Amino acid sequence: MAKIGLATHGLARENPRFPGQAMIRVRNLSKSYTVHKKAPGLWGSIRSLVARQKVVKHAVRGVDLDVGEGEILGLVGPNGAGKTTLVKMLAGIIHPSGGEAQVLGHTPWERNNEFRRQIALIMGQKAQLWWDLPAADGFLLLKEIYRIPDDRYAANLAYLAEVLDVEQHLNVQVRRLSLGERMKMELIAALLHEPRVVFLDEPTIGLDLTAQRAIRDFLLAYREEHRPAMILTSHYMEDIQRLCKRIVIIDDGRFLYDGPLDQVAQAYAGQKVITVHLRRGDGSPPPAEALAAFGDVLTAGEDEVQLCVPRERVAEASAYLLAELPVADLSIDEEDIGTIIERIFRERRVEGA
């Protein structure tokens, strides 16, 4: 079992793919909030009128990061891990408690217009467009805000609306659009000015599978064409796997892993998944206790048995299964990335407790 803790590799390093060209550079960045706690019930409410308990929450704890041109970095972590706080600092919305960050050579929270003209923030849970107006009116306003020349605006809008297939909805009030259509409009709104850095906070949340796929495909195409640096937070592993070659795993404000997505398994997966398909009618599988001696039993049915076992016991477990069961087919796979990450968080919670 891999020890869960601060992964050393990939942390605080220059982006090897873009040496010296990091568009986002973060050093020892931290953010703490003071939150007030109130005891439940009427008495708690009355007491809070006089005195409230203050609690300092460390949302981000001294993290380092570099993101290069054309890179989509996946920020993965459970709720409250510090993902959105980090994105908010890098977009210049909130001030940090300590550390430094440079985005395109600017300190984000100084909010100078030169910086803000080159970034975009897309929030899946929060509408950016004007609710009561047709999206086209909102885009015109953004044209003025970002001072986009007429020809560039027309070309960009036509391109984005066509690729996202929303041309027929441009003149409909935003509040009357479906969630998927609205999200596509949000993407257009964010990308009209051709930002060089894009922050995507849960861009596919709540969308159906078709809309999710369309947005992923669009983001990949956009990345190829414009080469922006992107930071993506998402709870959907499908987003991360499809869009990101590199991920950062964050929990409790700390980076646990920063490196290639396909190496997460090597760094953390002390386990492999053995799947055997059984020949029908050749007896029942051995009792789950016998299988559990090798590792976690994921499935133990009449047709299929699936075990998650430590790497060093893979050979032993495979030999046992081949000897004891009517095996029609056997395969050994790395753990699913989502499962690994879930396990990392689960084990950290257990350690913390």
Partner 1 sequence: MSVRLFLQVASVEMRKRMSYRVDFWINAFVGFAAELCIAWFLWQALYAESGKDVIGGYVFDEMLVYYVFVIIFARLVRGAEFEAHVSQDIYEGGLNRYLVFPASYFGMKYAQHVGGLVPTFVQTALFLGAWLVFTGGAGGEAITLTTVLMAAASLVLANLLYYAMSFPLHAVAFWADNVWSLLITLRFASNLLGGRMFPLVLFPVALRTANEWLPFRALFGLPAEALLGRVGFEAWLQGMAIGIVWLGVLSLIGRAVWRRGNLQYSGIGI
182 binds partner 1 (CB under 8 A): no
Among 2, 11, 140, 332, binds partner 1 (CB under 8 A): 140
Nearer to partner 1, 128 or 241 (CB): 128
Burial string for 101-126 (b: 16+ CB within 10 Å, else e) reads bbbbebebbeeeeebbbbbbbbbbee
The answer to whether 84 contacts partner 1 (rule: CB under 8 A) is yes
Q: How far is residue 103 CA from its own chain's centroid?
A: 19
**CB-nearer residue toward partner 1: 10 or 134:** 134
Find the binder of partner 1 among 41, 43, 51, 113 (CB under 8 A).
113
Residue 49, CB-side half-sphere exposure with 13 Å CA sphere: 5
DSSP-assigned letters across all residues of 33-64: EEEEE--SHHHHHHHHHH--EEEEEEEEEEEE
Does the footprint of partner 1 cover residue 123 (CB under 8 A)?
yes
Our finding on whether 28 is near partner 1 (CB under 8 A) is: no
Residue 235 C-beta-side C-alpha neighbours within 13 Å: 10
Q: How far apart are CA 72 and CA 23, in angstroms?
A: 12
Contacting residue, 18, 99, 107, 130, with partner 1 by CB under 8 A: 130
How many residues comprise the chain?
353
Q: For residues 79 and 210, which CB has a smaller minimum distance to partner 1 in the complex?
A: 79
Tell the smallest beta-carbon distance from residue 68 to partner 1 (Å).
22
Residue type, position 297, single letter = V
Contacting partner 1 (CB under 8 A), which of 8, 125, 171, 284? 125
* Closest CB to partner 1 among residues 146, 268: 146
Q: Using the rule CB under 8 A, is 120 a contact of partner 1?
A: yes
How far apart are CB 35 and partner 1 at their closest, in Å?
A: 9
Q: How far apart are CA 129 and CA 131, in angstroms?
A: 6
List binders of partner 1 among 149-178 (CB under 8 A): none
Per residue in 309-322, is it b (16+ CB within 10 Å) or e — as a string? beeebbeebbebbe
Where on the chain is the footprint of partner 1 (CB under 8 A)?
33, 84, 87-88, 91-95, 111, 113-114, 116-117, 119-121, 123, 125-126, 128, 130, 132-133, 137-138, 140-141, 144-147, 201
